[in-house]
C-alpha cells in the first residue's frame, strides 16, 4: 500500500536530517543546514516519493533524488533572499541566511547546496537523474533572470520556468529512479507540468500578486481550479494507483498558507 503524503514527508525529513555533507565544507556546513531546518512543506520531494511508489519503486530508493530537488529549491531561496536579488531579511519566520550569517557565507552556502544536490542526483547508476535536475535548474535560473530583468509580459512562461521546472523535475527524477521506460513517461510528465502552475497560482492568490494581481482574484481562483482538474485528468490516464498523488493535488489546490 502506498504511503500517505504525511508519511512520505516524515521519510524526507529524516533523510535530510541525517544527510552527510562533504567534509571539505568545514564550518560552512552550519549555513547549509540552517535553511534546510527552517521548515517548509517539502512538497517537491514528497511528490517525487509519491510518483516513485505509484510507478512501482521503493520510496527509500528515491530519497537521494527527492532530496536533490529539495536542495536545489533551498539553494534558490538562499540566493533569492540576497540583497542583490529580492533583498529579503526573513524566510519562514527566521532571519534569512545572509542575515543569520553574512552575504558571503550565504552565497557560498547556496553554491554548496547546489553542488550537494548534484552529488545526490549522480549517485544512481543512470545519469538521467542528474540530467533531469540540471535541465530543471537551468530553466529555473532562466525564469529568475526574466523576473529580475522585468520580462514579465509572458507571466505563464516566466512561471513555467521559475516554478514549474522544478515541479516537473520532481516527477521526472522519480520516473528515472523507478526505471519507467521513456516511451511511457509522457503521461506522467503531463501531470508534472500542471503541478507548478497550480502551486504558483495558489501562491499568488495567497500573496495577492502575480496572477491574482494581473487578472483578479476570481480569475486566478478559476485558473487554479481548472489546473487542478487537468492534473487529476492526467492522473486518471495513468495505469497505476495514483490516489496519493491525487491527494497532493487536492491539498495544493486548497492550501491556505
pLDDT tens for residues 32-85? 999 999 878 999 999 999 999 999 999 999 999 999 999 999 999 999 999 999
User: Quick check: 163 pLDDT over 80?
Assistant: yes
User: Quick check: 185 pLDDT over 70?
Assistant: yes
Q: Which residues, 6 or more positions from 56, have their beta carbon under 8 angstroms from its beta carbon?
A: 178, 240
Mean pLDDT value across residues 216-224: 93
Is the distance from CB of 249 to CB of 5 less than 8 angstroms? no
Is the distance from CB of 204 to CB of 213 less than 8 angstroms? yes
Can you give the pLDDT at residue 256?
61
Indicate the SS3 state at residue 95: strand
The answer, as to whether pTM is greater than 0.75, is yes
Can you give the pLDDT at residue 39?
79
What is the rounded CA–CA span in Å between residue 194 and residue 47? 13
Q: Which residues, 6 or more positions from 26, have their beta carbon under 8 angstroms from its beta carbon?
A: none
Q: What is the pLDDT of residues 225-246, one digit of tens each?
A: 999 999 999 999 999 999 999 9
Mean pLDDT value across residues 118-128: 98
Amino acid at each position: 500500500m502506498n504511503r500517505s503524503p504525511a508519511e512520505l514527508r516524515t521519510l524526507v525529513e529524516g533523510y535530510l536530517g541525517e544527510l552527510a555533507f562533504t567534509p571539505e565544507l568545514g564550518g560552512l556546513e552550519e549555513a547549509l543546514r540552517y535553511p534546510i531546518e527552517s521548515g517548509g512543506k517539502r512538497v517537491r520531494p514528497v511528490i517525487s516519493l509519491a510518483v516513485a511508489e505509484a510507478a512501482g519503486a521503493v520510496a527509500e530508493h528515491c530519497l537521494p533524488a527527492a532530496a536533490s530537488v529539495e536542495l536545489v529549491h533551498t539553494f534558490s531561496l538562499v540566493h533569492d533572499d540576497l540583497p542583490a536579488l529580492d533583498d529579503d531579511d526573513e524566510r519562514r519566520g527566521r532571519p534569512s541566511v545572509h542575515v543569520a550569517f553574512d552575504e558571503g557565507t550565504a552565497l557560498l552556502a547556496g553554491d554548496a547546496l547546489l553542488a550537494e544536490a548534484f552529488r545526490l542526483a549522480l549517485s544512481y547508476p543512470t545519469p538521467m537523474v542528474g540530467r533531469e535536475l540540471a535541465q530543471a535548474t537551468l530553466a529555473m535560473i532562466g525564469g529568475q533572470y526574466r523576473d529580475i530583468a522585468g520580462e514579465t509580459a509572458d507571466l505563464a512562461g516566466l512561471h513555467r520556468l521559475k516554478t514549474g521546472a522544478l515541479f516537473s523535475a520532481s516527477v521526472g527524477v522519480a520516473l528515472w529512479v523507478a526505471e519507467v521506460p521513456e516511451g511511457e513517461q509522457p503521461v506522467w510528465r503531463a501531470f508534472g507540468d500542471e503541478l507548478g502552475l497550480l502551486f504558483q497560482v495558489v501562491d499568488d492568490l495567497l500573496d495577492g500578486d502575480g496572477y491574482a494581481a494581473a487578472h483578479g482574484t476570481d480569475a486566478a481562483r478559476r485558473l487554479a481550479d481548472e489546473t487542478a482538474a487537468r492534473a487529476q485528468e492526467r492522473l486518471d490516464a495513468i495505469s497505476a494507483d495514483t490516489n496519493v498523488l491525487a491527494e497532493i493535488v487536492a491539498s495544493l489546490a486548497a492550501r491556505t498558507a
